[in-house]
Amino acid sequence: MPHPDVLEKLVSLAKRRGFIFQSSEIYGGTGSVWDYGPLGVELKNNVKARWWNAMVRQRDDVEGLDAAILMHPRVWEASGHVAGFSDPLIDCKTCKARFRADKLQDAQCARKPSKKPGEHGDCQLTEPRQFNLMFKTFMGPVEDSAAAVYLRPETAQGIFVNFLNVQQATRQKVPFGIAQIGKAFRNEITPGNFTFRTREFEQMEMQFFVEPGTDMEWFEKWKAARREWHIGLGLDADRLQFHQHGEKELAHYARAAFDIEFDFGGTLGFQEIEGVHNRSDFDLKQHQEFSGKRLEYVDQAANKRYLPYVIETSVGADRVTLATLVNAYREETVEGEQEGRTVLRLHPALAPITAGVFPLTKKDGQPEMADRVAAELRKRFPVFYDDAGAIGRRYRRQDEAGTPFGITIDPDSTKNGDVTIRFRDDLRQIRVSAERAGDVIAAYVASDVATAEAGKAGTA
Ligand code: GAP
């Protein structure tokens, strides 16, 4: 069965619960730029931390980097972006709208009645012309072409130009990689679908430098490893697929390329969330030529020097964060209750809040005990304390926020020193001593499950 389209509902939930807001909303908004609210920043930080952990901390053959957004303008000539990073554009001289020539069939004219570009009698469509997607600005006080710089359209080039710096500083031997997380900017002509395609976004990129001839072997290894990483985030395996780039799709730098696609549901369907590319020695060769600096790797043991080939894994932090939300969104009926619930079944390690703490009533020492429990848990993970309203409503609020565990303090708690842990996904409840609540939850988070039954974290 096809997955339903939940994007519109998510946009509304994201605003209501403080995941994602439209940028500069009080001024009418900025096109395709979004701000992450209190819950959203935690979720996206968790995604990024998980990537950094898997790609840098857990490996001794990948080093971290945080290169600047502004780079020497020659970088973008060498990389091919000045000449080739463009989309074909068609203007309508009548309504001033712009359309991508290659997406004209799917485009909609803004005027009413709703028609396709060219279908109104007075449409005046121009011939296609190339429009560069890089944002241009000026460095220093003078706004002339000599001072022009670009906001980087990908983080990868910061890695290529630092290849020898990192290799020499860390004494890494090929094969090894460099990874970084950072903002990238593209003046997209047809942005949209919430945070799927935006003009400002974050990439998590890794370039793995290998000896030519071993590149396809590494390409296959990284392809498999990256798919596993997405499954580890909780994305359903049947919503993930590879898409191999055909001759015409291949970027100017790529020898081989696969997209990892996620099924966003509805008409959007399967879309790229990550690219795995074999970039050959294209980038290092270009930078060597344009900078005049030798960028070869010296293999002392084998007494040879060469320009390494590069396997790149490039994933959008915002796109993956959106995928986790789409994957997690459910509208469910609850047995014995008239009102259903909206729940985000987020992976417990990604959830912005790990545990909600709820005194059943505001009397008999329950708030005091709940305060103490919350303060203890807060030392280990994000906690939300809520004593306002009926307990059912408080659970529902945390379900919508994706909080995997709820801890309730009731009249028996103050007598016996124990609490109830409620599981977001299967709604089961277990009773544990207040002191052990933190360990029990930590065990569930570490075991990557948020149900009382599945996984049997062992300590419950
Ligand atoms: N360095 C290679 C590179 O940038 P890409 O396929 O253009 O490759 C990689 O981008 C990833 O960056 C994409 O899979 C997507 O997740 C993310 N991305 C690219 N453009 C984006 C945009 N306009 N908005 C949000 N994410 C974007």
* pLDDT tens digits along 274-320: 999 999 999 999 999 999 999 999 999 999 999 999 999 999 999 99
Percent of the chain with pLDDT over 70: 97
The confidence band for 438, taking pLDDT boundaries of 50, 70 and 90, is very high
* Maximum average pLDDT range among 132-146, 166-180, 250-264: 166-180
User: Residue 17 pLDDT > 50, yes or no?
Assistant: yes
In this prediction, residues 47-58 reach a mean pLDDT of 98
Separation of alpha carbons 46 and 445, rounded Å: 13
First to last CA, the chain: 36
User: Residue 190 pLDDT > 90, yes or no?
Assistant: no
Given this model, what pLDDT does residue 450 score? 66
Q: Is 188 in the pocket of ligand 1 (CB under 6 A)?
A: yes
Task: Please give the distance, rounded to the nearest whole angstrom, from the Cα atom of residue 453 to the centre of ligand 1.
Answer: 38
SS3 content of the chain, % helix, strand, coil (to 5): 35, 25, 40
- Atom 4 (ligand 1) nearest CA: 154
Q: Is 205 in the pocket of ligand 1 (CB under 6 A)?
A: yes
* Strand extents, DSSP E, 40-162: 62-64, 86-91, 98-100, 129-132, 136-138, 148-150
Task: Please give the distance, rounded to the nearest whole angstrom, from the Cα atom of residue 203 to the centre of ligand 1.
Answer: 7
Contacts by residues 196-199 (CB-CB < 8 Å, ≥ 24 positions apart): 196/264, 196/268, 196/271, 196/319, 196/322, 197/32, 198/32, 198/33, 198/34, 198/318, 199/31, 199/32, 199/33, 199/135
In this prediction, residues 389-409 reach a mean pLDDT of 96
- Say if CB 37 and CB 23 are below 8 A apart: no
- Atom 15 (ligand 1) nearest CA: 316
Q: State both tokens at 83.
A: 């000449």
Q: Is 283 in the pocket of ligand 1 (CB under 6 A)?
A: no
Task: Please give the distance, rounded to the nearest whole angstrom, from the Cα atom of residue 379 to the centre of ligand 1.
Answer: 36
The confidence band for 434, taking pLDDT boundaries of 50, 70 and 90, is very high
Helix or strand run (H / E) with residue 432:
strand 429-433
User: Which residue has 């842990």 as its token pair?
Assistant: 421
In this prediction, residues 246-260 reach a mean pLDDT of 91
The confidence band for 452, taking pLDDT boundaries of 50, 70 and 90, is low
Task: Please give the distance, rounded to the nearest whole angstrom, from the Cα atom of residue 347 to the centre of ligand 1.
Answer: 24
pTM: 0.93
Separation of alpha carbons 67 and 204, rounded Å: 12
Q: State both tokens at 417.
A: 């020193």
Question: How far is the CA of 339 from the CAs of 292, 333, 336, in angstroms?
Answer: 68, 7, 9
- Say if CB 207 and CB 177 are below 8 A apart: yes
Other beta carbons within 10 Å of 293 = 10
User: Residue 98 pLDDT > 90, yes or no?
Assistant: no
In this prediction, residues 36-63 reach a mean pLDDT of 98
- Atom 19 (ligand 1) nearest CA: 316
In this prediction, residues 81-103 reach a mean pLDDT of 88
In this prediction, residues 388-411 reach a mean pLDDT of 96
Task: Please give the distance, rounded to the nearest whole angstrom, from the Cα atom of residue 315 to the centre of ligand 1.
Answer: 6
- Say if CB 157 and CB 286 are below 8 A apart: no
* Order of strands across the sheet that contains 200-210: 62-64, 176-185, 200-210, 309-316, 270-278, 256-263, 240-244
In this prediction, residues 228-255 reach a mean pLDDT of 94
The confidence band for 85, taking pLDDT boundaries of 50, 70 and 90, is very high
Separation of alpha carbons 309 and 323, rounded Å: 31
Angle subtended at Cα 310 by Cα 299 and Cα 294, rounded to the nearest 5 degrees: 50
User: Residue 376 pLDDT > 70, yes or no?
Assistant: yes
Percent of the chain with pLDDT over 90: 80
- Say if CB 283 and CB 314 are below 8 A apart: no
- Say if CB 195 and CB 322 are below 8 A apart: yes
Given this model, what pLDDT does residue 455 score? 44
User: Which region among 12-26, 97-111, 117-131, 219-233 has the lowest average model confidence (pLDDT)?
Assistant: 97-111
Residue among 348, 342, 90 at smallest CA distance from 232: 348
Sign of the Cα torsion 73, 78, 81, 84 reads positive
Q: Which residue has the higher pLDDT, 353 or 107?
A: 353
User: Which region among 112-116, 223-227, 344-348, 446-450 has the lowest average model confidence (pLDDT)?
Assistant: 446-450
At 363, the amino acid letter reads K
Helix or strand run (H / E) with residue 221:
helix 215-232
Given this model, what pLDDT does residue 315 score? 98
3-state secondary structure of 277: strand
Separation of alpha carbons 447 and 135, rounded Å: 43
Residue among 299, 267, 326 at smallest CA distance from 11: 326
CA dihedral 165, 166, 167, 173 (to 10 degrees): -170
